[in-house]
Amino acid sequence: MDCNSCDYNKVKKQKGIGEIKIALAGQPNVGKSMLINAMSGGNRVKVGNFSGVTVDKMEVCFEHHCHLFDLIDLPGTYSIDGFTKEEKVAKDFLVNEDYDVILNVVDSTNLQRNLLLTAELLELNKKMVVALNMADEARKDGIKIDLHQLQKILGIPVVQVSAKTGEGVDELLDKVHEIFDSQERAHSNIIYSDPLEEEIIKITKFLNERGFSYKDWTNREVAIALLLEQEKVYKELHDNPIMIELYPIIRDSLEHIYTHHETKDIKEIKAAEHASIARGIAMEVVSQKSQPKSLTLTQKIDSVLLNKYLGIPIFLFLMWGLFWLTFEFGNVPMEYIDAAIGAFGDFVGSHISNENLRSLIVDGIIGGVGAVLLFLPNIVILYIGIALLETTGYMSRVAFLLDGFFHKFGLHGKSFIPLVTGFGCTVPAYMAARTLKSEKDRLITLFILGFMSCGARLPIYVLFTGAFFSVQVAGNMLFLIYISGAILGLVMAKLLRVLVFKGEDEPFVMEMPKYRLPTLKLLWHTVYSNAVSYLKKAGTFILIASVAVWFASNYPKNEQLQQQYSQKIAKADAQEKVKLEKELKAKELENSYLGQIGKFSEPFFAPLGFDWRLSVALESGLAAKEVVVSTLGVLYSVGEVDENSKSLKEILRKELNIPIALSFIVFVMIYLPCFAASTVFTKEAGGFKYFIYLFIFTTVTAWVLSFVTYHIAKLIF
Amino acid sequence: MRLSDLSKNQEAIVIRVNASGELKQRLASFGLLKGAYVKVIDCSLGKSTIEIMVDSTLLALRREEAEKIEVEPKTGGKQKRKRKRLRLGNGL
What local confidence, expressed as pLDDT, does residue A429 receive?
79
What number is the average pLDDT over the span A560-566?
A: 80
- Name the E strands within B1-92: 11-17, 37-43, 49-54, 57-62, 69-73
CATH of the domain at A32: 3.40.50.300
- Domain membership of residue A317 (yes or no) is yes
Of A229, A255, A288, the residue that ends a domain is A288
Tell me chain B's radius of gyration from C-alpha atoms.
13
Residues A274 and A321 in one domain: no
Contact B49 A295 (CB under 8 A): no
Instruction: Enter the DSSP assignment of A382.
Output: H
- Domain membership of residue A469 (yes or no) is yes
Q: Which of A630, A626, A631, A625 is nearest to A613 (CA)?
A: A631
Rounded to whole angstroms, the Cα distance separating A694 from A517 reads 39
Partners of residue A133 on adjacent β-strands: A107
- Domain membership of residue A583 (yes or no) is yes
On whether the CB atoms of residues B20 and A265 are closer than 8 A, the answer is no
Contact A83 B26 (CB under 8 A): yes
- Domain membership of residue B81 (yes or no) is no
What local confidence, expressed as pLDDT, does residue B83 receive?
45
Confidence of residue A124 (pLDDT cuts 50, 70, 90): very high
Confidence of residue A5 (pLDDT cuts 50, 70, 90): very low
Share of chain A above pLDDT 90, in %: 32
Confidence of residue A668 (pLDDT cuts 50, 70, 90): very high
Residue B86 has pLDDT above 60, yes or no: no
What local confidence, expressed as pLDDT, does residue B77 receive?
47
What number is the average pLDDT over the span A197-225?
A: 94
pLDDT single digits (tens) A488-518: 999 999 999 999 888 777 778 888 888 888 8
When mean pLDDT is compared across A310-314, A484-488, A550-554, A658-662, the lowest value belongs to A550-554
pLDDT single digits (tens) B2-12: 999 998 889 99
Chain A residue numbers touching B46 (CB-CB < 8 A): 404
What local confidence, expressed as pLDDT, does residue A586 receive?
67
pLDDT single digits (tens) A148-188: 999 999 999 999 999 888 899 999 999 998 999 898 899 99
CATH of the domain at B36: 2.30.30.90
What local confidence, expressed as pLDDT, does residue A334 receive?
77
Between these two residues, A417 and A214, which has the higher pLDDT value?
A214
Of A448, A483, A499, the residue that ends a domain is A499
CATH of the domain at A216: 1.10.287
Using CB atoms within 10 Å of the CB of residue A383, give its burial: 0 to 12 exposed, 13 to 18 middle, 19+ buried. Answer: buried
pLDDT single digits (tens) A370-397: 767 777 787 788 778 777 877 788 888 8
What local confidence, expressed as pLDDT, does residue A58 receive?
63
Residues A372 and A434 in one domain: yes
What local confidence, expressed as pLDDT, does residue A436 receive?
74
What number is the average pLDDT over the span A138-156?
A: 93
HEC per residue, A490-507: HHHHHHHHHHCCCCCCCC
pLDDT single digits (tens) A406-438: 888 888 877 877 887 788 778 777 877 876 767
Residues A154 and A257 in one domain: no
pLDDT single digits (tens) A674-714: 877 887 788 788 888 999 999 999 999 999 999 999 999 99
- Domain membership of residue B78 (yes or no) is no
Rounded to whole angstroms, the Cα distance separating A144 from A138 reads 7
Nearest CA in chain B to A28: B30
Tell me how close the Cα of A308 comes to any Cα of chain B, in angstroms: 5
Contact A404 B46 (CB under 8 A): yes
Of A150, A181, A212, the residue that ends a domain is A181
Residues A440 and A368 in one domain: yes
Q: Which of A388, A390, A413 is nearest to A54 (CA)?
A: A390
- Domain membership of residue A107 (yes or no) is yes
Can you tell me the ipTM of this complex?
Answer: 0.80
Residue A192 has pLDDT above 60, yes or no: yes
Residues A648 and A708 in one domain: yes
Chain B residue numbers touching A280 (CB-CB < 8 A): 85, 88-89, 92
pLDDT single digits (tens) A317-372: 887 887 778 767 777 887 888 888 888 888 988 888 888 888 888 877 887 777 67
What local confidence, expressed as pLDDT, does residue A671 receive?
94
Contact B87 A512 (CB under 8 A): no
Residues A396 and A249 in one domain: no
Residues A366 and A443 in one domain: yes
SS3 assignment, position A657: coil
Rounded to whole angstroms, the Cα distance separating B86 from B35 reads 7
Between these two residues, A541 and A69, which has the higher pLDDT value?
A69
Domain count, chain B: 1
Between these two residues, A558 and A99, which has the higher pLDDT value?
A99
- Domain membership of residue A674 (yes or no) is yes
CB-CB: which of A191, A265, A403 is closest to B48? A403
Tell me how close the Cα of A153 comes to any Cα of chain B, in angstroms: 7
pLDDT single digits (tens) A234-293: 999 988 999 999 999 999 999 999 999 888 888 889 999 999 999 999 999 999 877 778
Residues A467 and A567 in one domain: no
SS3 assignment, position A540: coil
Chain B residue numbers touching A194 (CB-CB < 8 A): 90
When mean pLDDT is compared across A57-61, A163-167, A346-350, A471-475, the lowest value belongs to A57-61
Cα dist. A538→A233, A505, A541, A544, A630 in Å? 51, 41, 6, 9, 11
Residues A171 and A236 in one domain: no
Partners of residue A183 on adjacent β-strands: none
Residues A141 and A47 in one domain: yes
What local confidence, expressed as pLDDT, does residue A705 receive?
95
Rounded to whole angstroms, the Cα distance separating A193 from A257 reads 10
What local confidence, expressed as pLDDT, does residue A675 receive?
77
Rounded to whole angstroms, the Cα distance separating A662 from A665 reads 5
CB-CB: which of A116, A277, A512 is closest to B59? A512
What local confidence, expressed as pLDDT, does residue A285 receive?
94
User: Before A241, cis peptide (omega within 30)?
Assistant: no
Nearest CA in chain B to A407: B48
Q: Which of A171, A178, A173, A195 is nearest to A262 (CA)?
A: A195
- Domain membership of residue A377 (yes or no) is yes
- Domain membership of residue B30 (yes or no) is yes
Between these two residues, A531 and A506, which has the higher pLDDT value?
A531
Residue A645 has pLDDT above 70, yes or no: no
Query: What is the residue-wise DSSP string for A39-50?
Result: HHSS--S---SS
What local confidence, expressed as pLDDT, does residue B89 receive?
42
Q: What is the domain extent for residue B17? A: 3-73
Residues A428 and A318 in one domain: yes
Residue A311 has pLDDT above 90, yes or no: no
What number is the average pLDDT over the span A584-591?
A: 74
CB-CB: which of B33, B42, B88 is closest to A302? B42
What local confidence, expressed as pLDDT, does residue B92 receive?
42
Nearest CA in chain A to B86: A276
- Domain membership of residue A30 (yes or no) is yes
pLDDT single digits (tens) A605-619: 999 999 888 998 898
Contact A509 B34 (CB under 8 A): no
Q: What is the domain extent for residue A359? A: 312-499
Residue A14 has pLDDT above 70, yes or no: no
CB-CB: which of B36, B41, B89 is closest to A192? B89
Q: What is the mean pLDDT of chain A?
A: 83
Residues A603 and A682 in one domain: yes
Residue A110 has pLDDT above 80, yes or no: yes
CB-CB: which of A194, A407, A510 is closest to B90? A194
What local confidence, expressed as pLDDT, does residue A16 receive?
55
Segment of A209-218, A513-522, A672-681 carrying the highest mean pLDDT: A209-218
Between these two residues, A433 and B15, which has the higher pLDDT value?
B15
Domain count, chain A: 4
Rounded to whole angstroms, the Cα distance separating B45 from B31 reads 26
What number is the average pLDDT over the span B45-64?
A: 88
Helix (H) or strand (E) holding A190: none
- Domain membership of residue B84 (yes or no) is no
What local confidence, expressed as pLDDT, does residue A9 receive?
52
Q: Which of A111, A108, A117 is nearest to A136 (CA)?
A: A108
- Domain membership of residue A411 (yes or no) is yes
Contact B62 A407 (CB under 8 A): yes
CB-CB: which of B62, B65, B90 is closest to A191? B90
What local confidence, expressed as pLDDT, does residue A10 receive?
52
pLDDT single digits (tens) A26-48: 998 888 878 887 887 754 544 44
What local confidence, expressed as pLDDT, does residue A26 receive?
93
Which of B20, B22, B40, B62 to mutate: most A Cβ within 10 Å?
Answer: B62
What local confidence, expressed as pLDDT, does residue A47 receive?
45
- Name the E strands within A479-579: 509-511
